[in-house]
Amino acid sequence: MKKAMLILLVIVAFGAMAVAVDSNYHPTTDVLGAHLVYGRGCVACHSPHNGARGNGIATADATAGDVALWGTDLKPYYSQTFAFGDAGGFPVTTPANSSAGAHDPMVGIMLCLSCHDGNLAVNGMMKGSTVEVIPNAIGGNAPTLLGNDGGTKGDYNNDHPVGPLATVGCGGTYDWDCTIDATGKITAPAGSAFATFQQDYGWVVRTSAIGGKPAVTCMTCHDQHSMNAWKGTIGGVAGVFKTSFFVRGYYNPGDTSSNSAAQFCRSCHGAEANEMHNANLPTT
């Protein structure tokens, strides 16, 4: 009986550890964070009338604001190629216009670049560094402009790959033991390490189907509407979790007792996960 009770207490203790992840987190500032844009709020990105011109921006784009009421000038970003990723091996060519709509993955990338590039055009609202401080011993702020980050202007090699070549795979050297259907949907076979990971952490990223393959875009990892809180399910526990830098998931790198930052990255980079190394550890 005593042995059984001890086992039960251990199970309860691990269960408590699994749910002790700020599932009832209460942010103390507006969740838009930096995207409040010095008090302008939603209209900084979504001008309710006249698109970019409604934000006082002179643009030659005759369709300004036709998609998502976008209030920033997209004209400089039409039909441009950006060499993202390792040695520029993941080039992205943006559409010639935004007519495909905001839910088109390539238009979405272009919308983000219209503020976060700083090379082809400079957005007056951008100051070039994060509001949040990098949580390490050095501290400081990270650049927020991809093409003008203090290094070589126009260098996108040091930015995470996005676009049609930045796909999530299954079964390869760096991948989960998952499967992908013809629509680009990733699934977790029963008994797979990937299925165990989804129990331990969850599946918080959002890939976009491009050419029938699950591709990474800016919004795969980032929720542009919430800088500091993420609502979802982690380790089977539903709630609101602490996050930072607009990351789409439980992401708390400032907590030295937490593995949440590593867990988030493992959502796509499965080979580095605990579960792929025969370790089943709860997210803390």
Q: Tell me the pLDDT tens digit for each residue of 163-199.
A: 999 999 999 999 999 999 999 999 999 999 999 999 9
Residue range 119-148: mean pLDDT, rounded: 91
Write down the pLDDT at residue 203: 93
Q: Residue 257 region, left (φ>0) first, then alpha (ψ -120 to 50), else beta? A: alpha
214 phi and psi, to 5 degrees? -75, 110
Write down the pLDDT at residue 1: 45
Of 278, 241, 271, 273, the C-alpha closest to 18 is: 241
Residue range 198-206: mean pLDDT, rounded: 94
Residue 20 banded pLDDT, cuts 50, 70, 90: low
Share of the chain above pLDDT 70, in %: 92
Write down the pLDDT at residue 281: 85
Residue 2 banded pLDDT, cuts 50, 70, 90: very low
Average pLDDT of the chain is: 91
Distances (CA, A) of 188 to 68, 181, 198, 270, 282: 34, 11, 8, 12, 18
Contacts 24+ apart (CB under 8 A), 240-245: 240/22, 240/23, 240/24, 240/25, 240/26, 241/21, 241/22, 241/23, 241/25, 242/22, 242/25, 242/27, 244/132, 244/135, 245/130, 245/132, 245/142
- Which tokens in the block code for residue 233? 């399910």
The whole-angstrom distance between residue 17's C-alpha and the CA centroid of its chain comes to 26
Point out the least confidently predicted range of 80-89, 117-126, 130-139, 225-234.
Answer: 130-139
Point out the least confidently predicted range of 19-28, 76-85, 120-129.
Answer: 19-28
Write down the pLDDT at residue 136: 80
Residue 124 banded pLDDT, cuts 50, 70, 90: confident
- Which tokens in the block code for residue 238? 């539903």
Of 165, 166, 61, the C-alpha closest to 114 is: 61
Cα(118)–Cα(145) distance, integer angstroms: 6
Beta bridge partners of 187: 179
- Which tokens in the block code for residue 175? 């991948």
C-beta of residue 214 within 8 angstroms of C-beta of residue 267: no
Residue range 114-135: mean pLDDT, rounded: 93
Write down the pLDDT at residue 247: 98
Residue range 254-274: mean pLDDT, rounded: 94
